[in-house]
Amino acid sequence: MTISASCPALFLSAPASGQGKTTITASLARLFTRQGKVVRVFKTGPDYLDPQILQQASGQPVDQLDMWMAGEIYCQQKFYEAACSADLILVEGAMGIFDGDPSSADLAARFNIPMAIVMDVKGMAQTAAAIAAGLASYRDDVNVVGMIANNCGTERHRQLIEDALPDDLILMANLPRSEHVALPERHLGLVQASEVSDELEQRFEAGADWLDASGILSSITALAPVEFFSASTEAVEPLLKGISVAVARDAAFSFIYEANLELLRNMGAELSYFSPLHDHQLPTADAVWLPGGYPELHAQALSANQPMIDALRQFHESDKPVLAECGGLLYCLETLTDLQGDEYPMAGLLEGHGAMRGKRGCQGMQAAPLPEGEIRAHAHHRSRSSDTAEPIAFGKRQRHVAPGEAIYRSRGVTGTYLHLFFPSNPSAVAKLFRSGEEAEGVS
């Protein structure tokens, strides 16, 4: 018997990045939330920062959905679970509507979610309508129901766009430019929500008023419910029962998929959290996870916390597992040079030196072919490493034959620029967090 749940849903995409998708999605979530509605928001792709913003705006957990990294079954189940309790589901796209493989349009088409085109219309009028109409008709399996005109300066500007739209593509909202709703940014994207929580609250409320005044409510409330079906998923085995994992989590290390934590808990792991910035010792643990984040912004403080570095070195000498991803990798190298060119000693668990490199960087989907098994992942960084040891493997790029990110291993430490998505291979993850003979017993 197939089980389903229905809920109104809207997928917010755009012709390109930088059109205001996150601001509008967060403002829309807050507008409905303050009316007492339960709004579940999802983010397309592997993004860490946008979900932090969207979670604060909606007051609900936000999951990243990518049909390559997470798989269709995972995405299907997440939509179904959200539909069981939500009054509205919002999905924020990534990049442009058809960019990537799979793209935002692919995800929307697979789950029959109507789409709205968010577009910054500054400097154009009828042309904006033409672009929206072209996007709406580009694929037969994509249902684009409306356009949201961002930075729409005047009533005349709005009328020119609306009159040029085809009859089956409505102007859902025209939004004037507002300095009170824009979200703060830095070199890898938006600023972390925890750093500007109070400011974000003011911007969410201003954004909700901004959208409310546009008349968008009538378009959203007219959306028909979308039927989401439960997926047949295998029960998670308790492969980490009795294993304690210490997770670094603070302003320097915060790029953590909630799905990864959920999987560890479901496999029986006992999770504890610590701050490499502020704590002087590790929690009692069988394994340590150093996720990505912004260590380059806190390099001096990380370097100055010698008791924590000493604790990590002692843990390393015990040959217990340490997973160091991206920012965690930089912390485990010998030195880190920040954006100002200042060099600081780091933990030195792995050979090599890390350095920031401004606007140049690397990003993209890859699979990590670890000895424990292949785990899907992604890379997004603007730093480089040098004088490193010989890698044990390289990431396998999703759509390119060139070697991906290097994967290093020293005793129990596994270090890489890749951010692993644990649910893509629970068995491999369990082996990664178990040491020696214990890992050999995991099938």
According to DSSP, the residues that pair with 276 across neighbouring strands are: none
Express each pLDDT in 149-187 by its tens digit.
999 979 999 999 999 999 999 999 999 887 767 766 544
Nearest-10 crossing angle of helices 21-33, 49-58: 20
Give me the pLDDT at residue 217, please. Answer: 93
Give me the pLDDT at residue 181, please. Answer: 74
pLDDT of 439 higher than 60: no
Give me the pLDDT at residue 325, please. Answer: 98
Give me the pLDDT at residue 200, please. Answer: 84
Mean pLDDT in residue range 201-220: 92
SS3 37: coil
Q: Looking at per-residue confidence, does 438 or 320 come out higher?
A: 320
Give me the pLDDT at residue 234, please. Answer: 80
Q: What is the dihedral of CA 196, 198, 204, 207, to 10 degrees?
A: -90
Express each pLDDT in 318-347 by its tens digit.
999 999 999 999 999 999 999 899 999 999
Give me the pLDDT at residue 177, please. Answer: 83
Q: Are strands 373-381 and 419-420 parallel, antiparallel or unpaired?
A: antiparallel
Fold adopted by 4-229:
Rossmann fold (3.40.50)
pLDDT of 350 higher than 80: yes
pLDDT band at 443 (very low <50, low <70, confident <90, very high): low
Mean pLDDT in residue range 376-387: 92
Handedness of CA 149, 155, 160, 165 (dihedral sign): positive
Give me the pLDDT at residue 195, please. Answer: 62
Each domain of the chain, given as residue ranges in start order, spans 4-229, 244-440
**Residue 121 parent element (H or E):** none
Domain 4-229 and domain 244-440, same fold? Reply is yes
Give me the pLDDT at residue 357, please. Answer: 83
SS3 268: coil
Express each pLDDT in 70-116 by its tens digit.
999 999 999 999 999 999 999 999 999 999 999 999 999 999 999 99
pLDDT band at 371 (very low <50, low <70, confident <90, very high): very high
Express each pLDDT in 8-33 by its tens digit.
999 999 999 999 999 999 999 999 99
- What residues contact 333, with CB distance under 8 A and at least 6 apart? 346, 347, 348, 350, 351, 352, 353, 354, 385, 388
Fold adopted by 244-440:
Rossmann fold (3.40.50)
pLDDT band at 399 (very low <50, low <70, confident <90, very high): confident
Give me the pLDDT at residue 437, please. Answer: 47
pLDDT band at 190 (very low <50, low <70, confident <90, very high): very low
Give me the pLDDT at residue 120, please. Answer: 96
Residues belonging to the active site? 326
